[in-house]
A = this chain, B = another copy of it.
Amino acid sequence: MSLLFKNLRVHQVFGANTDVGKTLLTSALVRASAALKNEVFYLKPVSTGPMSDADDEHVKRFAGAYKDAVRTRCLFRYDDPVSPHLAAQMSADRKGEKTAIFPTDSTFVTSVANHIRQCASESRKSAHMYVETAGGVHSPTLSGTTQLDAYRPLRLPCILVGDSKLGGISSTIASFEALALRGYTVDAILLFKDSYYKNYEYLTPYFAERGIRVDSFSTPPPRHEDIDANFKVTEAFYAEMVLEDTKEGGIYDLVKHLDAYHEKRLDELASMPQRTLDTVWWPFVQHGLNNEPQNVNVIDSAWGDYFTVFNGHHTPRPTSSHSVLEPQFDGSASWWTQALGHGHPALALAAARAAGRYGHVMFPQATHAPALRLSERLVRDGPGQGWAARAFLSDDGSTGMEIALKMALRTFAASRPERPREWMKELGVLGLKGSYHGDTIGAMDACEDTGVYTCEWHHARGFWFDPPTVGIRKGRTVVALPGAMGGDEASTGSLVQTYDIQSRLDTPLAALYREHIERTLHKLSDARLATLVLEPLVMGAGGMIFVDPLFQRVLVDVARKLLEVPVIFDEVFVGLHRLGLKTTSEVLGVYPDISVHAKILTGGLVPLAATLANSKVFKAFWSREKKDALLHGHSYSAHAVGCEVANETLDILERMERAGQWDEAKAAWAANEQSGTVIWSLWAPSFVDMLSRTPGVKEAMTMGTVLAINLEDHEAGYESHSAQMVLSSLAQAVGSIESGTSAAPGGGPFSVHFRTLGNVAYFMTSLNTPDATIREVEDRIWAALNSKTLN
């Protein structure tokens, strides 16, 4: 991940095209940096073409009087002057190898990062480093991935060498935008002052308006046939550009500008913790307990499953050669939102595409392709398949649930036309203790009042059952019954068997559930219960409570029969593959009347929610009078950016499923079970088994991307900090800088960011998190757990 050193200022040099003078200008920068008394490192990770012409050779040759201060390096070298991915192939062909052995993107980026770290550790004083890419910004690297994407995990500050030839205005701007689209920061744009095309005259104000400095330089001399003569004119060119005497103006100004930006970058990062504590009001945080700068997580960027975080304010006295930016595994999938990791280029492009085509366009009585396509796929092919008729789009899970509640209450009211409006004001919901549906007051009112997550206006409206739960204890899958049902542990076979509802519907446990629910509901006959609201399978915020699915199924059946109420599935957290399931109905064997989806919906990029409803619910609002309508809306309802990103996300997830991306994990969990089971996890069965047998661990549980570890604790619940304390060592970056190998992109030490819910620690991945990463995180969890004496 990103590297930033106090003693070593690193820039990556991209070109707007091939042959725009990248090496010439980088050479001049190297020489000027050296003239200003810096150690200078030059890295050309991949070089193609004859050695005599190699860029690293050129840089060394023209370092002038500063040869000793300049160290050059090339990591991968190929003879043919073509794109690296072709050069490697041609070289393999010549050797008679069938296919070239390319480094993977991960190996490649780790090589580059290791070299940079090496340079930082070898540099005794202030040093500069220039990492020159090959060709244009999107020229392929050895693996075939284009450079922008391949180098992205390192996200080095950039210099873009613009194109001064005819057409160069276009390629320079387009290259800049491609860099921006990957989240790179461009510190300067350089180009030659071609006196005929004058691109610099156009580009300087163009980029000034966008806050980017353009430096332009005299055009280089034409290449001389004679080697000595060529050396002479070239040396004269550099001597002219990098003046010996003044060490001011021109390229020196640029070097100082880059120095200043480097300092600014470090200062900005160092200032952010206190500034944040001074101005920001965090969600769900007690500022009185979180007012130390060293505990502010400064996220400089993110890529894949990792944040890049600043460590300068909490790592004890890092040496100046340690990177002040380090990778941090995003262990909660950024509050349960990530499906495909951070900075995914396809999602960024989808956002850009919709922003460029529509911006936002208002939705009532209107339609646009991204919203219509999303609605249709959710209703017909997605979680609504088989039951839903309509999609209502809103902004987040909480608004999606408010809409669901309004739908359900009206549907119930419409079926009791004899009741007056005042009677309807006291309608309540039926649910489970531990539910959470969001923080707007309507969503809160659908949950019991536990004294937390609350505010003065919270009126808990309804009744909530204490549900039986599923967990793995000492290797055994166990259903724990609540006190009201005897409080025992029931053995329900394997995990797969426990989630095979059909086979459990006639068991004595099902009968116990049915009887308990029926008895309770009879007692509540005056309660005006108007809807059943469930988070299917797992109650997330309530403490990653895996509810016995049989209990939820029986509850749905009984509520429908006895109360005749619509059923809401709050799938904001559990839906859209989070639990490895396309829909939770696959397990429960029943459909809801209304369901709510968010979080993963946009792949974890921007807020968007969908409330799906069947036609009965829709009809409860249908009339010839405006006042009967569902008079709910948000200005950005169905915003095009969100819908386009959601469609892109669902496209990618569908492709992943078709390609069998999760088949290995599915196979690991189905071992010794009948085929066709739907329960699986990206976390290894052996690891979960081991966890569940660890002293101090009450139970472990997993499904899809989610792993929950329930620690034994006397003071359980939301206010407990036990899990946070037990696993606190995860916050330290671990790994050898020298070896450079770790699951983090670019290698190197990484820490693990994780969230807890009282005595429950949970971990969550994206749906494309690499196996190797998960295995390494498992090892880290294991080590953290065992570094503490539990209990």
Contact = CB atoms under 8 A, between A and B. Distances in A.
Interface string A112-130: 0000000000000000000
Contact of A177 (B178, B280, B302, B427): B178
Interface in A95-112: none
A598 B395 CA distance: 13
18 contacts: A17-B17, A19-B167, A135-B166, A137-B170, A138-B171, A146-B169, A171-B174, A183-B358, A282-B364, A288-B625, A295-B365, A302-B357, A335-B633, A337-B635, A348-B359, A359-B605, A396-B636, A441-B442
Interface string A353-388: 111111111111111110110011001100000000
The 4 closest A-B pairs by CB, nearest first: A136-B170, A183-B357, A283-B633, A441-B442
A287 B629 contact: yes
A276 interface: yes
Given A367-B299, A457-B405, A606 B639 contact: yes
Given A391-B281, A626-B286, A343 B355 contact: yes
Contacts of A334: 359-362, 635
Given A348-B355, A461-B457, A395 B607 contact: yes
A371 B297 contact: no
Most B CB contacts (10 A, CB to CB) among A135, A402, A445 go to A402
Given A358-B301, A362-B335, A365-B296, A606 B397 contact: no
Contact of A365 (B285, B441, B611, B642): B285
Contact of A174 (B169, B178, B279): B178
Given A139-B170, A290-B365, 14 more contacts: A135-B166, A135-B167, A171-B174, A178-B178, A183-B356, A275-B372, A283-B394, A287-B629, A297-B366, A298-B367, A302-B358, A347-B355, A425-B459, A439-B633
A262 interface: no
A453 interface: yes
A554 interface: no
Given A83-B166, A167-B19, A272 B402 contact: no
Which of A144, A364, A367, A641 is most buried by chain B, counting CB atoms within 10 A of its CB?
A: A367
A440 B368 CA distance: 25
B297 A376 contact: no
Nearest to A171: B171
A366 B272 CA distance: 10
Contacts of A380: 279
Interface stretch (A195-203, A687-695, A696-704): A195-203
A634 B343 contact: no
A548 B105 CA distance: 65
A623 B639 CA distance: 39
A351 interface: yes
Contacts of A441: 402, 405, 440-442, 445
B171 A297 contact: no
A184 B354 CA distance: 10
A170 B196 CA distance: 25
Contact of A181 (B85, B279, B353, B362): B353
A757 to B, nearest CB: 12
Contacts of A336: 635
B635 A397 contact: yes
Interface in A123-168: 135-140, 144, 146-147, 155, 166-167
Contacts of A438: 634
B286 A623 contact: yes
Residue of A183, A332, A344, A361 with most partner-chain B CB within 10 A: A361
A783 interface: no
Nearest to A165: B18
A348 B356 contact: yes
B348 A18 contact: no
Interface string A589-626: 00000000011000011110001010000100111111
Contacts of A445: 441, 457
Contact of A166 (B82, B410, B632): B82
A641 B350 CA distance: 13
A175 B177 CA distance: 9
A474 to B, nearest CB: 32
A399 B440 contact: yes
This chain's copy number in the assembly: 2
Contacts of A177: 174, 177-178, 181, 349, 352
Interface string A236-279: 00000000000000000000000000000000100011011001
A284 B173 contact: no
Count class of interface residues, chain A: 35 or more
A635 B598 CA distance: 9
Interface in A329-349: 330, 332, 334-338, 341-349
B606 A392 contact: no
Contact of A390 (B281, B286, B302, B631): B281
Contacts of A638: 283
A606 B174 contact: no
A135 B442 contact: no
A431 to B, nearest CB: 15
A637 interface: yes
A511 interface: no
A170 B138 contact: yes
A185 B344 CA distance: 21
Contacts of A175: 170-171, 174
Interface in A619-677: 621-639, 641-642
A634 B181 CA distance: 26
A357 B139 CA distance: 20
B355 A605 contact: yes
A237 B380 CA distance: 50
A180 interface: yes
Given A146-B170, A361-B302, A375-B279, A634 B396 contact: yes
A145 to B, nearest CB: 10
A535 to B, nearest CB: 15
Which of A140, A397, A454, A456 neighbours the largest number of chain B CB atoms within 10 Å of its CB?
A: A456
A224 interface: no
Nearest to A454: B631
Contacts of A395: 395-396, 399, 607
A330 B452 CA distance: 45
A289 interface: yes
Contacts of A413: 456
Given A281-B392, A307-B361, A636 B337 contact: yes
Contact of A397 (B83, B354, B360, B634): B634
A470 interface: no
A409 interface: yes
A367 B183 contact: no
Contact of A299 (B178, B289, B361): B361
